[in-house]
């Protein structure tokens, strides 16, 4: 099955056109590289060919390599073998005695951008959706087809490093500004202008770095300015603990050790660094969760297969506070007619205004065209009467997290909407089966737990109540798909999945605080471990008073294993009793002023140090293992059916370190047997909440694990 077509464009110009027949996108694997290499050699050797255009028949250029192939790597030697073949193809392309022009449309990511870099001239379509980048680092990889060597040589260190190390994907305009793109043309003229560049000799037949006297654009690597650029990026890379994310370090080492030398020496070093990370656990973890798991979730794997798809045209959002307005924004963006139901006219106006402000902001940032924004705002229908929403296809309930309020609203909704229209509660903690008792038809009641800010957070936790039927689940998932969110489907229970696991994490952090540890130490350990923000900083942002309410709603009778010995309630009571409510209330765990954030001086009086220091590694284990243990219990209890859902949920929901794959992936990464032993040691020292559940002990006894491979 051929992926490449050779087209004669006339006047001695030929095109290599990628068109993978079994996918909406073009991507590379061993077979495609072999096919491309043969085409490059043949066209380079043909005296009748003046130049070659590399193009795509898809809506995008190329989006990288075959991740399933990478996940199957057996070791560094296997990785080196694959990448040597790719590098050889790219090198033959740029050493051919004629120009190769990249005609870039849509996305040029990873190997796609590396092919463009190996071309001697690059033209991009004028399309706001076009993005260029080297996102390999997000999957624990480094560019291996010459990206670490060609990009700095083309655009300089300052522009190249963020694209590679931080996964900064850029527009055509930005790419042209930094010298990555030579020309931007109307999309319909892309092929004609590429041909013209060859015939007019605008496209050179060689690369700058293969010419005598070549020097790096901007500061050289060993100049004071170049060393300053490298040092600044190294400082960012080293914010995580050593070894957690090897890829950023490998990219920096490939640049530092290769860019000052001849290109072939640099490519050799890149190949060595790629092989060192490509077969690692980190890569396998990230590909499993962020590619395979994410794609399966987005593919609605848990949608009932025998239920026909629903054509959802209109929805109502009951309650337009922060969460409700966010849900309404995403629903309108999806093309649904949205009815904003709010009894209080002032709150309704405030919520509607916040949505309009968000839409205007998207236009100002060039993320939405003015006509699309106008059409989106026209789909918003403010309403103060339940009768206004009688004919909608679905309702999102987003009122206060108080059961009595939700019960009243649910009963009123059921009195007016059609019997087949589902009601989805955005509760984060109250059991769905409990809330469904207020519904006339509990089988059409379901939980859709969105995450704030709704317009940016992709995850939606879909909670099935005891009586939720297949039609309701299917319609809820269809709505989520229309809103371009990623669902994980869970069963009902206190805190569902996400809230109970985050509760275990937050509870452990507050317990450490109550033991007298400094909040700066606790938060810094979490940051070094790979979390984006410390748990105590997050608690201050959330508000300590709100956190008290959340804790009460997920605690039940307090008998759950994961709650034993936690000092969360005690710590919150002491802090709020001292008037500490959080950042928005003037200060909580921290004080805030113009110079930044500082631990509240009253903490030692509230929480006298218990004596003795805790090692950073042990603090990290307590914070991370508490989450993994609670996730394992959720699987044992049937709240989570598939371990990959726990990992996708934890990485998307609260940015658990993806280097482990997620909360369950951490257990496999450590090794189930070792994980159980270490939990037993912590149980002896810190209490029963670290008791490993039966599912882990049984797995350890048979030397099993959650994920194959």
Q: Which residues are catalytic?
A: 449
Q: Is 494 helix (H, G, I), strand (E, B) or coil?
A: coil
Q: In what order do the strands lie in the sheet with 445-450?
A: 380-383, 337-341, 314-318, 394-397, 423-425, 445-450, 459-464, 486-491
Which are the contacts of 604, defined by CB distance < 8 A and separation ≥ 6? 516
**Phi and psi, residue 421, nearest 5°:** -80, 120
The C-alpha atoms of residue 236 and residue 90 are separated, in whole angstroms, by 31
Q: Give the C-alpha distances (Å, rounded to integers) separating 254 from 96, 117, 297, 307.
A: 25, 17, 35, 52
The C-alpha atoms of residue 165 and residue 250 are separated, in whole angstroms, by 9
* Per-residue DSSP letter, 65: B
**How buried is 693 (Cβ within 10 angstroms: 0-12 exposed, 13-18 middle, 19+ buried)?**
buried
Segment (H or E) for 15: strand 13-18
The C-alpha atoms of residue 349 and residue 93 are separated, in whole angstroms, by 60
Q: Give the C-alpha distances (Å, rounded to integers) separating 259 from 152, 157, 279, 287.
A: 7, 9, 24, 29
The C-alpha atoms of residue 273 and residue 140 are separated, in whole angstroms, by 12
Residues pairing with 125 in the sheet:
185
Task: State the angle between helix axes of 76-95 and 263-278 in degrees (0 to 180), rounded to the nearest 10.
Answer: 150
Query: What's the distance, CA 110 to chain centroid?
Result: 17
The C-alpha atoms of residue 133 and residue 153 are separated, in whole angstroms, by 16
Please compute, for residue 37, the number of CA atoms within 13 A of its CA located in the half-sphere on the CB side. Answer: 16
Q: Please report the sign of the dihedral spanned by the C-alpha atoms of residue 438, residue 439, residue 442, residue 446.
A: negative
The DSSP bridge pattern shows strands 314-318 and 121-125 to be unpaired
The region, left, alpha or beta by phi > 0 then psi within -120 to 50, assigned to residue 381 is beta
């Amino acid at each position: 099955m051929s992926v490449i077509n050779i087209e004669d464009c006339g006047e001695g110009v030929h095109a290599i056109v990628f068109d993978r027949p079994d996918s909406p996108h073009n991507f590379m694997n061993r077979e495609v590289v072999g096919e491309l290499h043969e085409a490059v050699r043949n066209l380079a050797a043909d005296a009748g060919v003046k130049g070659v255009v590399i193009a795509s028949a898809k809506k995008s250029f190329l989006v990288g390599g075959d991740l399933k192939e990478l996940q199957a790597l057996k070791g560094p030697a296997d990785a080196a073998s694959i990448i040597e073949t790719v590098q050889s193809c790219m090198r033959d392309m740029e050493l051919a005695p004629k120009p190769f022009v990249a005609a870039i449309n849509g996305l040029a990511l990873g190997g796609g951008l590396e092919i463009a870099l190996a071309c001697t001239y690059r033209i991009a379509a004028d399309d706001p959706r076009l993005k260029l980048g080297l996102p390999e680092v997000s999957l624990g990889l480094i560019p291996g087809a010459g990206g670490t060597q060609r990009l700095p040589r083309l655009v300089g260190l300052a522009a190249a490093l963020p694209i590679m190390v931080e996964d900064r994907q850029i527009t055509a305009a930005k790419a042209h500004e930094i010298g990555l793109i030579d020309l931007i043309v109307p999309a319909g003229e892309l092929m004609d202008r590429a041909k013209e560049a060859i015939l007019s000799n605008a496209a050179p037949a060689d690369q700058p770095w293969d010419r005598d006297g070549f020097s790096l654009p901007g500061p050289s690597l060993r100049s004071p300015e170049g060393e300053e650029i490298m040092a600044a990026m190294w400082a960012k890379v080293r914010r995580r603990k050593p070894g957690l994310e090897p890829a950023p370090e490998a990219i920096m080492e490939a640049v530092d050790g290769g860019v000052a030398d001849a290109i072939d020496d640099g490519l050799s070093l890149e190949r060595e660094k790629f092989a060192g990370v490509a077969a690692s656990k980190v890569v396998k973890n990230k590909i499993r969760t962020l590619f395979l798991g994410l794609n399966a979730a987005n593919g609605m794997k848990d949608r009932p297969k025998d239920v026909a798809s629903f054509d959802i045209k209109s929805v109502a959002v009951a309650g337009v506070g922060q969460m409700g307005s966010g849900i309404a924004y995403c629903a309108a963006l999806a093309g649904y007619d949205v009815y904003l139901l709010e009894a209080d006219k002032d709150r309704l106006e405030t919520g509607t205004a916040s949505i309009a402000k968000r839409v205007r902001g998207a236009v100002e940032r060039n993320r939405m065209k003015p006509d699309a924004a106008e059409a989106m705002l026209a789909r918003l229908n403010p309403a103060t009467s339940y009768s206004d929403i009688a004919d909608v296809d679905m309702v999102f309930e987003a009122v206060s997290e108080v059961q009595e309020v939700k019960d009243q609203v649910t009963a009123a909704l059921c009195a007016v909407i059609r019997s087949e229209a589902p009601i989805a509660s955005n509760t984060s903690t109250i059991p769905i089966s409990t809330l469904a008792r207020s519904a006339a038809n509990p089988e059409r009641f379901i939980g859709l737990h969105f995450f704030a800010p709704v317009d940016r957070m992709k995850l939606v936790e879909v909670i099935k109540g005891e009586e939720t039927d297949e039609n309701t689940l299917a319609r809820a998932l269809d709505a989520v798909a229309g809103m371009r969110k990623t669902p994980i489907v869970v069963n009902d229970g206190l805190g569902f999945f996400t809230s109970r696991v985050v509760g275990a994490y937050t509870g452990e952090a507050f317990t450490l605080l109550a033991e007298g540890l400094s909040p700066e130490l606790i938060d810094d350990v979490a940051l070094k471990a790979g979390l984006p923000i410390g748990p105590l900083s997050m608690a201050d942002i959330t508000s300590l008073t709100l956190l008290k309410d959340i804790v009460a709603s997920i605690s039940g009778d307090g008998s759950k294993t994961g709650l034993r010995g936690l000092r969360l309630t005690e710590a919150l009571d002491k802090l709020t009793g001292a008037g500490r409510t959080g950042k928005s209330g003037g200060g909580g765990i921290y004080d805030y002023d113009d110079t930044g954030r500082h631990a509240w001086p009253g903490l030692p009086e509230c929480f006298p140090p218990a004596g003795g220091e805790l090692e950073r590694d042990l603090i990290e284990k307590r914070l991370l293992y508490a989450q993994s243990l609670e996730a394992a219990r959720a699987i044992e209890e049937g709240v989570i059916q598939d371990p990959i859902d726990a990992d996708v949920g934890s990485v998307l929901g609260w940015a658990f370190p993806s280097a482990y794959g997620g909360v369950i992936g951490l257990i496999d990464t450590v090794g189930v047997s070792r994980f159980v032993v270490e939990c037993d040691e912590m149980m002896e020292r810190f209490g029963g909440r670290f008791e490993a559940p039966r599912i882990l002990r049984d797995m350890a006894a048979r030397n099993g694990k959650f994920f194959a491979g």
